[in-house]
Amino acid sequence: MDSLSSGSLTSSQKDELMEQIRQQIAVANAQELLTKMTEKCFKKCINKPGTTLDSSEQKCVAMCMDRYMDTFNLVSKAYSDRLQRERNRM
């Protein structure tokens, strides 16, 4: 039986495992954010897909991605603030 299934992890090992899981979740969230942002901005800005982007498409994609990131950061901050308030109530 390994140490995970036997429950014999030390506190330090548990902390390290939790940190690794947090990092994996952060990477997965970043990948999902990038995928969603790419999909949405592509649909919004690219009318005729080709081998290159014209200047208006480049500008649209850049602005779309900036707005998407600004919105994501705003929502993330609001969510984080709300979680903090909820924790303080307990």
CATH code of the domain containing 70: 1.10.287.810
Token pair in block for residue 21: 């899981």
> How many structural domains compose the chain?
1
- How far is 83 from 78, CA to CA, in rounded Å? 9
E strand or H helix that includes residue 63:
helix 55-89
Question: Tens of pLDDT along 24-64?
Answer: 999 999 999 999 999 999 999 998 888 999 999 999 999 99
Q: Is residue 4 part of a domain?
A: no
Question: Tens of pLDDT along 62-87?
Answer: 999 999 999 999 999 999 999 999 98
The residue range of the domain holding 48 is 11-89
Asked whether the whole model's pTM tops 0.75, one would answer no
Assign 1 a pLDDT band (cuts: 50, 70, 90): very low
- Distances from the Cα of 58 to the Cα of 9, 40, 46, 71, angstroms: 51, 14, 9, 20
